[in-house]
Amino acid sequence: MAVRWLLGFTLVVAVACGKSAEDKPAPATTPRLISLTPSATEVVAALGSAQFLVGVDEYSEFPAEVKALPKVGSFTTPNLEEIVRLSPTLVIVDDIHATAAGALHDAGIRTVECKMHTLPDVKSALRTVGEKIGKAAEADAVVAKIEAAVDAANAKRPAKRPRVLIIIDREAGGLGNLIAAGTGTYIDELLAVVGGANVLAGAAVKYPKISMEEVLRAQPEVILDLSYAARGDKGLEPWKDVKARTVTLQEPFLIAPSPRVDAALAVLTAALAQR
């Protein structure tokens, strides 16, 4: 389910961070925050403010303590009644929540919209939310940590860039219905930072559906399989006849933008370095 949400999330979110239903500073009270996406939840947590969350979407699982919070609906269908009942001082939304944000505004509830497709978006979201909740200094510190992680990963890039295929989804037990990550995706950006070359860099869409014939023509040296089907002891067995080194990755922060950039880059660096 989480993998399905992640794919849907990366395909849908698309609005600039910083817009809000009211452009007023946050009230001088203890924040009561609600986030409508896992990425927004992680932004709040990265600012050291998870204790101010009073509700999250049903897919938010990090940090662990948010699992016990009231759920305010799914990414695509927020529960407005539950949100209003929780009396938040700020709700963090994205563009597909335009109707919900308007209804919340009419109910006197402040919202802020943030997109997080890219590394710059993540930094912008941190600063915007930090400003709204009085955590500007903390936001600057997290952004500095992200920039340091990117610089460190860049410094370790291999001299020869390995050709990499990134699989986001596929059928269980086989290699049908392959969905891959192309140019413009978050993981494609991370891959470039650590020195990998996406074999689907010329794809016309961000998440192309590809055939095994296309996989073979692309001649990847490394296949990163992030699909749910790849989990388990025999998850990679369908790839056994493909002449590429295949690695299973399960970390959600590789697909959905997250402040955990240092961890994401470390995972990818290690995956490319495996022999």
Question: CB within 8 A of 37, min separation 6: which ones?
Answer: 9, 13, 57, 59, 60, 75, 92, 94, 256
| Confidence (pTM) | 0.87
What confidence tens digit (pLDDT) does each residue in 143-176 have?
999 999 999 999 999 989 999 999 999 999 999 9
Query: Is the pLDDT confidence value at 14 over 70?
Result: no
Which of the 8 DSSP states describes residue 25?
Answer: P
Q: What residues does each domain of the chain span?
A: 2-153, 157-273
Percent of the chain with pLDDT over 70: 89
Mean pLDDT score, 176-202? 96
Topology alike, domains 2-153 and 157-273: yes
CA atoms of 138 and 109, how far apart (whole Å): 25
Query: Is the pLDDT confidence value at 27 over 80?
Result: no
Question: Right CATH number for 157-273 from 3.40.50.150, 3.40.50.1980, 3.40.640.10, 3.30.930.10?
Answer: 3.40.50.1980
Query: Is the pLDDT confidence value at 255 over 50?
Result: yes
What confidence tens digit (pLDDT) does each residue in 111-140 have?
999 888 899 999 999 999 999 999 999 999
What confidence tens digit (pLDDT) does each residue in 51-66 have?
999 999 999 999 999 9
Under a CB-based contact definition with an 8 Å cutoff, are residues 75 and 59 in contact? yes
CA atoms of 267 and 260, how far apart (whole Å): 11
Mean pLDDT score, 182-191? 95
CA atoms of 99 and 38, how far apart (whole Å): 20
Neighbour-count burial for 247-274, b at 16+ CB within 10 Å, e otherwise: bbbeebbbbbbbbbbeebbbbbbebbee
In this prediction, residue 70 carries a pLDDT of 97
Let me know if domain 2-153 sits in CATH 3.20.20.140: no
